[in-house]
Amino acid sequence: MRTVTRLAGFAVGLAAVFGATYGVGRVVDTAPAAESRHDDAATTPTADERGGTGDRLPGGLLVSEHGYTLEPVDAPAGEFAFRIAGPDGRPVTRYDVAHDKQMHLIVARRDLSGFRHVHPELAPDGTWRVDTPLAGPGQWRAFADFTPTGGEPLTLGVDVTVPGELTERPLPAPATTTTVDGYTVTLTGAPQPGRTSSLTLTVSRDGQPVTDLEPYLGAYGHLVALRQGDLAYLHVHPDGTPGDGRTRPGPAVTFLAEVPSTGSYRLYLDFQHGGRVHTAEFTVVADAAPTGDAPTPSGPAPTGGADHGTPGHGHN
Ligand SMILES: [Cu+2]
């Protein structure tokens, strides 16, 4: 079953702005607690949102946070351009380097297809430009992952529509093994809400473990996770860095993931080998298992997303 949609005209939509702040890079509270605080009118942010509170949303849901706003700008065909407006309304021109870059631009369609992770170039006026990663028609979400100098890390997200004939794709079924560019990647572990979960990805080629992965963005792999339904963007941290004396260049790369809720997530592992970056994708289901044991991610979860293993379900 496929849904074909004709998208009329080019449009850039702004995401709904949720009233909460988010501190990144820390262990999250359980989702229910965060939501209950979020619903409390007393926590409605004031004009002074900077500095953050214990009230957190996952990254990427907001187009504007802590005074910083992601603004796509007109660009020639084949190029994607944007800027970050700062608290003073002017484009930010100074950024800290994180994971080897000042700006990470991640895009994926709303159906979680078409993932790309690219690094735009900063012009002196604060405009970021890159060969467009929007590979074809669709409803895309673009995430800018950056740290403004003097501020805290942010991931802002904005919707971008590329017109044309769109064939929506069902989310692939959960799996623990995938292939990309001749590599086989196996996932061990599963995310669980409210705790830091260890996810290990093991890379092999032609049946042989790959033991000479190349550093990419300061690690032997870079993992992004997006939640099905709203494309919440999750911070996933590599466990160990090249040269720290304990982290080997494969075949296993371990990450520490924090998911905010049950549900289906798409994982995108960027790794470099042979001078090229490859992206392995997995669908995983986060299950609120009562024990610390990792549930088997190969089957549907008993709650939430039980139909994701059914090929061809629609996204109407
Ligand atoms: Cu990046």
Using one digit for the tens of pLDDT, what is the confidence trace for 245-298?
Answer: 889 998 999 999 889 999 999 999 999 999 999 999 999 999 876 554 544 444
Distance 107 CA to ligand 1 centre (A): 11
Determine how β-strand 252-258 pairs with β-strand 263-273.
Answer: unpaired
How confident is the model at residue 8, as a pLDDT?
45
CA 302/CA 256 separation, integer angstroms: 24
Distance 236 CA to ligand 1 centre (A): 13
pLDDT for 215 beyond 80: yes
Distance 221 CA to ligand 1 centre (A): 11
CA 262/CA 190 separation, integer angstroms: 11
Higher local confidence (pLDDT), 37 or 126: 126
Distance 120 CA to ligand 1 centre (A): 9
How confident is the model at residue 50, as a pLDDT?
33
How many Cβ atoms sit within 10 Å of the Cβ of residue 132? 19
How confident is the model at residue 118, as a pLDDT?
96
pLDDT for 217 beyond 80: yes
Tell me the residues surrounding ligand 1 (ion) with CB < 5 Å.
104
pLDDT for 122 beyond 80: yes
15-59, pLDDT tens digit by residue? 333 333 333 333 333 334 433 444 334 343 333 333 333 457 889
How confident is the model at residue 154, as a pLDDT?
96
64-108, pLDDT tens digit by residue? 999 999 999 999 999 999 999 999 999 999 999 998 899 999 999
pLDDT for 201 beyond 90: yes
Distance 301 CA to ligand 1 centre (A): 31
Distance 8 CA to ligand 1 centre (A): 31
Distance 200 CA to ligand 1 centre (A): 20
Average pLDDT value for the chain: 80
Distance 121 CA to ligand 1 centre (A): 12
What is the percent of the chain where pLDDT is above 90?
60
How confident is the model at residue 289, as a pLDDT?
62
Distance 5 CA to ligand 1 centre (A): 31
Distance 164 CA to ligand 1 centre (A): 28
DSSP string covering 186-249, please? EEE----BTSEEEEEEEEEETTEE---PBPBTTBS-EEEEEETTT--EE-EEESS-TTSSS--S
Distance 260 CA to ligand 1 centre (A): 22
Tell me the pTM: 0.74
Span of 155-159, 202-206, 237-241 with lowest mean pLDDT: 237-241
